[in-house]
Structure 1
Amino acid sequence: MNAAMQKLLGGRAGAINLALLAGLLLVVFPLLLEPFRLNLMGKYLSYAFVAVGLVLCWGYGGILSLGQGVFFGIGGYCMAMFLKLEASDPVSTKIQTTPGIPDFMDWNQITSLPLLWQPFQSFAFTLAAVILAPTLFALLIGNAMFKRRVGDVYFSIVTQAIAAILTILIIGQQGLTGGVNGITDLKTLLGWDIRSDSARMILYFVNAGLLLGCILFGKYILSSKLGRLLMAMRDKEERVRFSGYDVASFKIFVFCVAAAFSAIGGAMFTLQVGFMSPSFVGIVPSIEMVIFAAVGGRMSLLGAVYGTLLVNLGKTYFSETFPELWLFLMGGLFIAVVMYFPNGLAGVVDTQGRRLLQAIKRRREVKPKPAPAAAAVRPEPHRTVTGLEATK
């Protein structure tokens, strides 16, 4: 392993951990899980994009965003708009008053496709919009906040407010967005039925591959000079600013990267689940996404994935087994992690791993001393016994 790859992957240990995660996602889950559960796991992995972005933004950059559901929703709605237009061809919607437009538009007495929707008839434009729309929105927010040195709890409150505003806007514009029901009944992608088990398995692999790609890109950022500057800004922002660096620009960059990751997750969620609604945009889902990163470890990109899987598996199990208590159980899980494991699962694994290595090192250093050899008994020299001695 050359020096560049070693630095990027975090040495041999980092490469092994990444290989273990890739094996779990690409080999173990597809072999062990039935199609329904595998699709459910793909849904969880789409949330992991947000958690990985939060590790960069919050764990290393010190920017706690409580509105990442906004970017998740923007990416999901961009993909849903393309899929809905494909599902609303004139033949499939011939019973409507205005064939060729989404059904919720027809219900709201819209007689032509709105201008906002027209570019989403192109798949290439949709893919670009999935990345660019949330990134530009994050750029706008970042410029407005960080250039004015708005940070810490004030920035968190602002992001919460943006999430609430966008949710209200989506619900209020029912003719454009589908309202509280969202955009549903998504069937095909470029003529390919995304509802079949084989299609969902392919989408799962695409989802897992993109997630691993985002993790590698995050590792690349953290292994560069920018990664060291992010940690320095988190700990001593004023010192970094006085050193001549443009702190606001670095914050804007990492915030935009986190937004792009979240949007990719939202688009993959729409493809795998088959709908998108405002329930994934508001304050509550945004806070849940922060919990994913906190449980996994806000300083670990891989830990964010494991934390997302653990929390969502627990949420599914609790909701199926204890439907009336699962919210309390999830809250208790989060409180326990924050109180007793502030660095999340990754911190626990790292601490225990270090203790194990130290114990092994001590055992190697303290070797048992060999037992001293028994002193050899030297025989007395032979001498002749005289007669006088014999009589005695």
Structure 2
Amino acid sequence: MNRLFSFFQDRHAGLGSILLLAIVLMVVMPLVFDIYRLNLAGRYLTYAFVALGLVLCWGYGGILSLGQGIFFGIGGYAMAMFLKIEASDPESTSIQTTPGIPDFMDWNRITELPWFWVPFNSLTFTIIAVLVLPAAFAFLIGFAMFKRRVSGVYFAIITQALAVVLTILIIGQQGYTGGINGITDLRTLMGWDIRDDSARYLLYYLNAVLLIGCLLIGRWVLNCKYGRILTALRDKEERVRFSGYDVANFKVFIFCLAAFISGIGGAMFTLQVGFMSPSFIGIVPSIEFVIFAAVGGRLSLVGGVYGALLVSFAKTMFAEAYPQLWQFLIGAVFILVVLVLPYGLASIYGRFGHRMRTPFERWLGDRKARSSASSGGFQEPLQEKRP
């Protein structure tokens, strides 16, 4: 019975924080922000997918990846390829030398759609690619690294190097990828104008719903047996290995799950903003994603979302107010948070959350205490007998 109350209390607190975040995202922000700020918030929410994946991968799995921009970019480019094919119909590209193909291909004298672009004529295939390709690429990286027990700073450097390689590859293959400019001028999704204000509202809500869904998936993973083993693996990897578990398989799974979630964020970014470029794949965005998770709290799923929103909004406000100094201000904020709150902003609740408990949570805590006392877990001190 004690375990039941403990589990329900922890689970209730986690779902409560997710519910509060859902209210903030789907009620408060649409009422407070105008369409411009709400569109910015939607863009920042796409970063929160990557921060959430990093909380799972780094905070609970102990796997620091400095190349999460890879998976964000793969998901984004997959969606951008579908949208670009739709925007390149023969009527819209009639002035090109070869109508019916993306404009950057025509500029580079490519006369037909490359074979790996052809499947992206289908929205169904595109959605599957957004979900599968990032996870598949993460599986290749993770299987090759973790089976050889590559971890720690070495794994972080390798993922960072892979982000640089992929960026160079995309820029170098300009005729197939759009090069440094990326894939731009994305206007419609199945004939639906994604640049319209009503479309931006709908995309924002879709973004929020998908993010809440990913939070619930992450919460479920951490609450099951796998989550407990993952935490033990982070703290004492050798002890888990000697207990008979295949440590590499656990690491591969959580790394793939983080990539899966990041790919969804990349696809939503393309829909929200209307373009995708290699500038969101390299070292700088990947490090920014780590900052989001660190500031929000690398041991808190919801904290990663708040970190992405707060840091991104702070970056925008600083850039508007102090165009020459905003990078230093963002760096100062990050240093301050790390020095004062090593576990991010989420640790504030850990310190003072007991003062903000709801009556229902207090009831659960009291019920747990009474159950523990009745089962012998707590005993009143014996009164001294006087002669």
Amino acid of the residue matched to residue 106 of structure 1? D
Aligned-residue CA RMSD in angstroms? 1.7
Structure 2 partner of 1:19: 19
Deviation at 1:340, TM superposition (A): 1.4
Amino acid of the residue matched to residue 146 of structure 2? F
Structure 2 partner of 1:141: 141
Q: Aligned pair in 2 of structure 1 residues 4, 195: CA closer, same or farther (>3 Å)?
A: farther
Superposition misfits of 4+ residues, deviation over 6 angstroms: 3-6
SS of residue matched to 2:40: helix
Structure 2 partner of 1:102: 102
| Partner Cα separation in structure 1 for residue 5 and residue 22 of structure 2 | 17
Structure 2 partner of 1:175: 175
- Once the two structures are superposed, residues 98-137 of structure 1 have per-residue CA deviations (whole angstroms, 9 ceiling, x without a partner) of 0000000000010010111001001000000001111110
Structure 2 partner of 1:128: 128
Deviation at 1:354, TM superposition (A): 3.7
| Partner Cα separation in structure 1 for residue 8 and residue 133 of structure 2 | 29
**Conserved in 1, the CA contact under 8 Å of 2:18 and 2:215?**
no
SS of residue matched to 1:345: coil
Structure 2 partner of 1:326: 326
- Once the two structures are superposed, residues 25-48 of structure 1 have per-residue CA deviations (whole angstroms, 9 ceiling, x without a partner) of 011111111111111100000000
Structure 2 partner of 1:57: 57
Structure 1 partner of 2:212: 212
Q: Aligned pair in 2 of structure 1 residues 356, 196: CA closer, same or farther (>3 Å)?
A: closer
Whether 1:193 and 2:196 are equivalent positions in the alignment is no
Q: Aligned pair in 2 of structure 1 residues 113, 6: CA closer, same or farther (>3 Å)?
A: farther
- Once the two structures are superposed, residues 262-314 of structure 1 have per-residue CA deviations (whole angstroms, 9 ceiling, x without a partner) of 00000000000000000000000000000000000000000011111110010
In structure 2, the gaps of 5 or more residues are: 363-387
Structure 2 partner of 1:372: none
| Length-normalised TM-score, structure 2 | 0.90
**Conserved in 2, the CA contact under 8 Å of 1:6 and 1:12?**
no
In structure 1, the gaps of 5 or more residues are: 362-392
Deviation at 1:317, TM superposition (A): 0.3
| Partner Cα separation in structure 1 for residue 104 and residue 269 of structure 2 | 21
Structure 2 partner of 1:266: 266
Structure 2 partner of 1:38: 38
Q: Aligned pair in 2 of structure 1 residues 7, 220: CA closer, same or farther (>3 Å)?
A: farther
| Partner Cα separation in structure 2 for residue 120 and residue 5 of structure 1 | 49
Deviation at 1:14, TM superposition (A): 2.4
The aligned runs of 1:196-275 (5 Å cut-off) are 196-275=196-275
Whether 1:346 and 2:370 are equivalent positions in the alignment is no
Q: Aligned pair in 2 of structure 1 residues 38, 221: CA closer, same or farther (>3 Å)?
A: same
Structure 1 partner of 2:377: none
Amino acid of the residue matched to residue 327 of structure 1? Q
**Conserved in 2, the CA contact under 8 Å of 1:9 and 1:219?**
no
Q: Aligned pair in 2 of structure 1 residues 150, 270: CA closer, same or farther (>3 Å)?
A: same
Q: Aligned pair in 2 of structure 1 residues 6, 73: CA closer, same or farther (>3 Å)?
A: farther
Deviation at 1:173, TM superposition (A): 0.3
**Conserved in 2, the CA contact under 8 Å of 1:215 and 1:302?**
yes
SS of residue matched to 2:110: coil
SS of residue matched to 1:148: coil
| Partner Cα separation in structure 2 for residue 101 and residue 247 of structure 1 | 47
The aligned runs of 1:349-368 (5 Å cut-off) are 349-354=349-354
Deviation at 1:350, TM superposition (A): 1.4
Q: Aligned pair in 2 of structure 1 residues 90, 9: CA closer, same or farther (>3 Å)?
A: farther
- Once the two structures are superposed, residues 54-91 of structure 1 have per-residue CA deviations (whole angstroms, 9 ceiling, x without a partner) of 01000000000000000000000000000000000000
Amino acid of the residue matched to residue 172 of structure 1? G
Q: State the aligned residue count.
A: 357
Structure 2 partner of 1:158: 158
| Partner Cα separation in structure 1 for residue 182 and residue 4 of structure 2 | 46
| Partner Cα separation in structure 1 for residue 145 and residue 356 of structure 2 | 45
Q: Higher Cα Rg: structure 1 or 2?
A: 1
Q: Aligned pair in 2 of structure 1 residues 9, 209: CA closer, same or farther (>3 Å)?
A: farther
Deviation at 1:355, TM superposition (A): 6.5
Amino acid of the residue matched to residue 337 of structure 1? V
**Conserved in 2, the CA contact under 8 Å of 1:292 and 1:307?**
yes
Structure 1 partner of 2:276: 276
| Partner Cα separation in structure 1 for residue 7 and residue 297 of structure 2 | 21
**Conserved in 2, the CA contact under 8 Å of 1:315 and 1:330?**
yes
Q: Aligned pair in 2 of structure 1 residues 224, 4: CA closer, same or farther (>3 Å)?
A: farther
Amino acid of the residue matched to residue 124 of structure 2? A
| Partner Cα separation in structure 2 for residue 5 and residue 85 of structure 1 | 54
Structure 2 partner of 1:377: none
What percentage of aligned pairs have identical amino acids? 67
| Partner Cα separation in structure 1 for residue 327 and residue 158 of structure 2 | 26
**Conserved in 2, the CA contact under 8 Å of 1:230 and 1:250?**
yes
Deviation at 1:337, TM superposition (A): 1.4
Amino acid of the residue matched to residue 86 of structure 1? E
Amino acid of the residue matched to residue 331 of structure 1? G
Structure 2 partner of 1:366: none
